[in-house]
Amino acid sequence: AVLILLGPPGAGKGTQARMLEEAFGLVQLSTGDLLRAAVAAGTDAGMAAKAVMAAGALVPDDVVLAILKDRMRDADTKRGVILDGFPRTAGQAEALDGLLACTDQQVNSVISMDVEDGPMIARVAGRYTCAGCGEGYHDMFKQPAKAGVCDKCGGADFKRRPDDNAETAGARLTAYHAQTAPLIAYYEGRGVLERVDAMADIAAVRDALQARVKRVMGD
């Protein structure tokens, strides 16, 4: 199955994709994570992406497509994938259709995570992760049970993304409305779009998403 989580920065795509991955044995494919790994590794794709990401703009389609294609070939993606942060432009959506057609697949479900702009800036600007295991936290919404110690791995080292400040978050939101939001109508026209109220708390959004994914997976 091929599922897409569509939504602006801070909507909770990453948070929810990781939970769906565990619940359904799917693989989360985040182009943001893949790009950040490319930047850290200093690959050509990473060099091309670094400044664009720091400014909160979209990385060129060909760069994103190349790294996604590579990852989609891996065997662990056979049962199904949750695309998180991809596609983000009309060109990427068309390229995805072409890519899936090669293996007799198609987009099964697109879930639009509906939120309001204002609170999204706060969600993004307060976010940090455990440097050891990648567990996500938030200054206001999700603190570790014991201050300064990761709930999952016990690590004490945390990091913040360079684009997670109020100014860059605003630019990312602008890019979302201009280039990505039109995909909602595109997938609605194809009859695969569903909507989830992503202003609700994390557990409520999780339950709403899992009910929909269950239907798609047929289990």
Binding site for Zn ion (CB under 5 A): 130, 132-133, 135, 150, 152-153, 155
Query: Which tokens in the block code for residue 156?
Result: 């004490």
* 215 vs 25: CA distance, rounded Å: 15
Judge whether 86 and 95 are in contact, CB under 8 Å. no
Q: Which residues have a catalytic role annotated?
A: 13, 88, 127, 161, 172
Q: Does 29 bind ligand AP5 (CB under 6 A)?
A: no
100 labelled as ligand-binding? no
Annotated binding-site residue? 14: yes
Which partner from the list Zn ion, ligand AP5, none does 133 bind, CB cut-off 5 to 8 Å by kind?
A: Zn ion
Applying CB under 6 A, among 20, 59, 67, 111 the residue interacting with ligand AP5 is: 59
Q: Which lies closer to ligand AP5 via its Cβ, residue 67 or residue 219? A: 67
36 labelled as ligand-binding? yes
Strand spans (E) along 42-168: 81-84, 109-114, 127-130, 136-138, 158-159
Output the smallest distance, CB 156 to ligand AP5, in A: 19
Positive or negative torsion for Cα 167, 170, 172, 178: negative
Q: Residues 149, 135: contact at Cβ < 8 Å?
A: no
Give CA angle at 5 (52, 86), nearest 5°. 35
Member of 2, 67, 72, 85 binding ligand AP5 (CB under 6 A): 85
Indicate the annotated binding residues for ATP: 10-15, 127, 200
Residue ranges binding ligand AP5 (CB under 6 A): 7, 9-15, 31-32, 35, 52-53, 56-59, 64, 85-86, 88, 92, 123-124, 127, 136, 138, 141-142, 172, 198, 201-202, 205
